[in-house]
Amino acid sequence: MADGLSKDKKSSLKMLPSFVRSTPTGKESGDYLALDIGGTNFRVLRCSLNDGQIQTNAEVYPMSSEVMTGTGRDLFAFIADCIKSFLQKYDIKGSNIPLGFTFSFPCTQHSLNRATLITWTKGFTASGVEGEEVVQLLQNALAERCPDFKVNVAAIVNDTVGTLMASAYENPKSVIGLIIGTGTNACYMEQLDAVEKWTGDRDDPKQVIINIEWGSFGDHGHLDNIRTGFDREIDEHSLNRGKNTFEKMISGMYLGEVVRLAALLLVKDGALFNGNAGDKFNIRESFETRYVSEIVGENGAANAREILKDKFGIDASESDVDTIVKLCNAASVRAGRLAATGIAAILLKINETKDRIVAVDGSVYKKHPTFAKIMSDTLSELIPGNTISWVLADDGSGVGAAMVAAVTKV
């Protein structure tokens, strides 16, 4: 992390200054629009902040893989069309309503509302966006597709930053924003003195939220001693080869695939499914992370049996079911322990191990029944006696962008 904050040392952690310098006071108020892109859905929200209360209207627009992997022009046209239909549905007229844009990819931030995409992650590859100024692309698409609506993009933020900000609105003890979803990443408030590469002013408040982009930890070989053949295979078949090593061991886009590849090795050895997994189980990414969540929870064995039968046409024996449950648990424990190790490293760096909050959002954290416990147990092993609480910032990645817009206004 220290290398990433320096001017010229190399680091696999990008440590990106977010330009967000203060957390909310809880007194912010007003109406804001928020956009949230970064997983499998695009969302538009209207957030009303009123003295510590947040009210939201939100619409979810599923994104096809064609949109994610086509041209940037089509991607931003899709976004603009969704915004248009949202504005119509909620009868929001072309006003100057401030908009916060959660764009959950690594970006070099030039100011609070200007950011350049460094590289796509998580299965996005839309052409002509890397190296470009994202707010400009949004504004161009809006000008073309809903010209009546005058946007005022007040802020573009990473989902981790949004999560920390949304949580801080309700609880000032929040110090870290964490996402365990399609991808994984964390951010934290850093003292400007520690950010050698910071080029902005050094006035008060002498702090800035840093988007770590921890997903790419390991890209320089630091995780090689614990990577498995399954991890290497996932990487080889991914759209961002050689990148986001840590993320590929933890997040929802990959967790089910880790289990599937481990299971296939046992099948090959004749130790699972009588040595024959059938066609469906052999399809890449067919074992989705949501199945892992169903299998590690209550009634896990029964769920495993049902999923194997219904989704894969496999009549599993007792011992097959037992093995699948064990594999799902093992992959989950590994993921949770790795994420918690990252959190421990941040807490030790900022010297905050007592009475602080880690704000968490993301589909895996919300749906996986044991992930939260695995992380907190691991943190207790790594930092005995810590009194850190893990708090779900539900919808933090959406509401947070509105919060940043609000804090800027105040």
Contacts with ligand GLC by CB under 6 A lie at 38, 104-106, 121-122, 158-160, 179, 181, 183-185, 213, 215, 247
Residue 366 C-beta: closest distance to ligand GLC, Å = 13
Sheet (strand 174-180) strand order:
16-17, 207-211, 184-191, 174-180, 357-361, 389-392
Write the DSSP assignment of 172-198 as a string of letters. Answer: TTEEEEEEESSSEEEEEEEEGGG-TT-
Q: How far is the CB of 160 from ligand GLC (least distance, A)?
A: 5
Between 117 and 264, whose beta carbon lies closer to ligand GLC?
117
Residue 138: closest CA among 113, 166, 162: 113
Residues paired with residue 389 on neighbouring β-strands, in sequence order: 357
Residue 195: phi and psi, rounded to 5, are: -105, 80
Closest separation in Å from C-beta 11 to ligand GLC: 15
- Give min distance, CB of 312 to ligand GLC, in A: 28
Tell me whether residue 104 or residue 289 sits nearer to ligand GLC (CB atom).
104
Q: Which of 150, 281, 205 shows the shortest CA–CA distance to 22?
A: 205
List 104, 167, 332, 363, catalytic entry: 104
Beta carbon nearer to ligand GLC, 180 or 292 = 180
Q: Three-class SS of residue 254?
A: coil
Nearer to ligand GLC (CB atom), residue 363 or residue 386? 363
Q: HSE (CB half, 13 Å, CA atoms) of 353? A: 14
| 159 a catalytic residue | yes
Minimum distance between the CB of residue 106 and ligand GLC, rounded to whole angstroms? 5
**Is 51 marked active-site?**
no
- Of the pair 159, 257, the CB lying nearest ligand GLC is at 159
Closest CA to 161 of 408, 399, 406, 342: 399
* Distance between CA atoms of residues 127 and 68, nearest Å: 9
Active site residue 394: no
Question: Which of 18, 36, 46, 159 is flagged as catalytic?
Answer: 159
User: Which residue number places its CB atom closest to ligand GLC?
Assistant: 183
Q: What is the DSSP letter of 153?
A: E
Catalytic residue among 18, 36, 43, 167: 43
Question: Closest Cα partner for 254 from 230, 278, 277?
Answer: 230
Of 164, 206, 207, whose CA–CA distance to 185 is shortest?
Answer: 164
300/398 with CB nearer ligand GLC: 398
The least distance separating ligand GLC from the CB of residue 158, rounded to whole angstroms, comes to: 5
Select 149 or 188, whichever has its Cβ closest to ligand GLC.
188
Burial class (CB in 10 A: 0-12, 13-18, 19+), 382: middle
Q: How many residues comprise the chain?
A: 410
> Rounded to the nearest whole angstrom, what is the least distance from the CB of residue 181 to ligand GLC in the complex?
5
SS (H, E, C) 26-45: CCCCEEEEEEEECCCEEEEE
Q: How many CA atoms lie within 13 A of 158 on its CB side?
A: 33
Active site residues: 43, 104, 159
